[in-house]
Structure 1
Amino acid sequence: MRASDRAYARLRQEILDGDLEPGSLLGEVDQAERLSISRTPLREALSRLIADGLAVQASGRGTVVSSIETKDVDLLFELRLPLEVQSARLAAERGDPQVFTALAERFTAAESTLGPPRSIADVADDSAYYDLAAELDEALSAAAANPYLNHALRSMRAHLVRARRLAQHEPARLTASAREHREVCLAVASGDPETAGAAMLIHLRRSHAYISAQHAAHEPQMST
């Protein structure tokens, strides 16, 4: 793997994980030294992050991690709804039911670890849950088998991962989300595209309402 590809992959993941928060400075000298690469491949990596919308050029500062505001969440969901619903429909038609039945069982198990009462150890469960949700995304993309649709979803999902993490889901919402994801999995496994699309739409509308409300409540802290 080229140095620029490694730098891009690492910085992208750190942005998605929240290790690099909105407004964080991606200085060439500091990042090149931290990642043990020269500045030329780092510039390539930063250019790709800017093209993805994960970083921006800030006047007087240089390259910084981009912000996510309520209006951005609304615009993302305008695009997400039709794409994700179509992905679920295609997955129901083309996918392996056993894959989604197994995922449904894992979401059932996850639900019991996400609700109150909470302990410090539960933070790890939250992270594992987000990883499971990402697995479902990948399974839907693989089953839909449409490279054009999957390319559009990959870019959009990156921004939504950030929006979801910054919204700081409450235990009740995480538990509800696990149930909704389970219903999506079971609907896709049923092979009925209408049911799969409807289950996905219900989840997306509830997710949009929650994330938008959380972002609106914390907007000053989330903006750069």
Structure 2
Amino acid sequence: MSVSFIMASLPSVASRQSTSVVYHRSAEWQWITSRDFDTRHEARTSMVDSMQSAIIWYRSPGRQQHMDTANRFSVKKFSDVAVEVVREKILSGELAPGQRINEIALSEELQISRSPLREALRDLTSEGLVTMSPGKGSFVASFDIETVTQIGEIRLTVECAVARFAAERADESDRAELKQMIGEIEEAIAAPDRPYPHHLNFHHLLGRATKNPRLSQLSDEVERQLRLARIASGNSPTRAREVLAEHRAISDAVLAGDVERADREMRSHITASNDAIIALIVS
């Protein structure tokens, strides 16, 4: 994977090496490219009207060919850019569970100050991917069997309630979204070696169908606490297909308005999920 940053900021930023800077002067784009770039990329983009913004081009093998030119660029704050990069490092395993995050090295790599980087780490803490310890620094989240078991028990109670209320209260719009999501998941793992597509948040969609914002929020919070462990488990193509079958069974029960079956299928799914996470830790 290679990552190139095109930063929009003060002209003084142009002096930084390994960075392409785009800024606007007299309605014309000025391109400044440092000479020590190993690979240069040409790009076209629109006006950037904020000095505290950046344009990131995320480029990885196998993904680039599926991205059209317009979607390769998006205007983001520096902290948003950092969130994406650090998240990718964690989910790819480049930053291992429990590893201390070197803020100095990361800020130098991204060529941003530590202030937006720390903002990014706080955002990742809310996602359950990072833990922050006063006086010690930031660490990639890690889990032990006891923690997973305790959170798993909470998750079982919350998600079964979500399934029951969703089956009881889902409207036509919710049902249409559930059908669409199951179809997207099926498409995403059509190839036998594909991991589960965690950007398709089935449980969040179910939470919305309960028509209870507080319950939905609680569900999201519990899910975040186990997010890294669940993603690691779902990276197994075998487990990914099992999860799809479990989600489909829950969805079918909700679509049928069968409260008891929805509860039963969710209970089976959460139990299997917890077991898979614990098996991953033990291994």
Same fold (TM over 0.5): yes
Distance 1:194 1:11 in 2: 41
Query: CA 1:136 to 1:48, structure 2 compared with 1: closer, same or farther past 3 Å?
Result: closer
Amino acid at match of 2:214: Y
Question: How many Å apart are 1:200 and its aligned residue?
Answer: 0.8
* Residues 40 and 110 (structure 1), Cα distance of their counterparts in 2 relative to 1, 3 Å cut: closer
Give % identity: 31
Q: Indicate how the Cα distance of structure 1 residues 58 and 110 shifts in structure 2: closer, same or farther if over 3 A, else same.
A: same
Q: CA RMSD in A?
A: 3.1
41-50 vs 194-203, greater mean Cα deviation = 41-50
Change (3 A) 1:192 1:14: farther
Indicate the residue corresponding to 1:147 in structure 2: 213
CA shift in 2, pair 1:146/1:36, >3 Å: farther
Q: Number of matched residues? A: 204
- Contact 2:204 2:216 (C-alpha < 8 Å) held by counterparts: no
Partner of 1:46: 121
The Cα of 1:179 is off from its aligned counterpart by 1.4
**1:34 corresponds to:** 109
Larger fraction in strand: 2
**CA drift at 1:36:** 3.4
How far apart, CA to CA, are the structure 2 residues paired with 1:172 and 1:48?
Answer: 31
Aligned to 1:81: 156
| Pair member with larger Rg | 2
The answer to whether structure 1 residue 131 and structure 2 residue 209 are counterparts is no
Residues 97 and 140, structure 2, Cα contact 8 Å, conserved in 1: yes
Structure 2 distance, partners of 1:4, 1:107, is 30
- 1:51 Cα offset (Å): 6.2
- Match of residue 281 from structure 2: 215
Query: Cα distance, 1:180 vs. partner?
Result: 1.2
Which residue in the other structure is 1:118 paired with? none
- CA–CA separation in structure 1 for the residues paired with 2:190 and 2:84: 33
Contact 1:4 1:42 in 2 (8 A): yes
Q: 1:163 aligns with which of 207, 218, 229?
A: 229
Q: Which has the higher contact order (CA 8 A, sep 6+)?
A: 1
Residues 1:98 and 2:141 aligned together:
no
Greater per-residue helix proportion:
1
Structure 1 unpaired stretches of 5+: 115-121, 219-224
Residues 24, 198 of structure 1: CA spacing in aligned structure 2 closer, same or farther, 3 A cutoff? same
Structure-2 change in CA distance of 1:26 and 1:72 (3 Å): same
Q: Which moved more, 1:99-108 or 1:191-200?
A: 99-108
Amino acid at match of 1:55: T
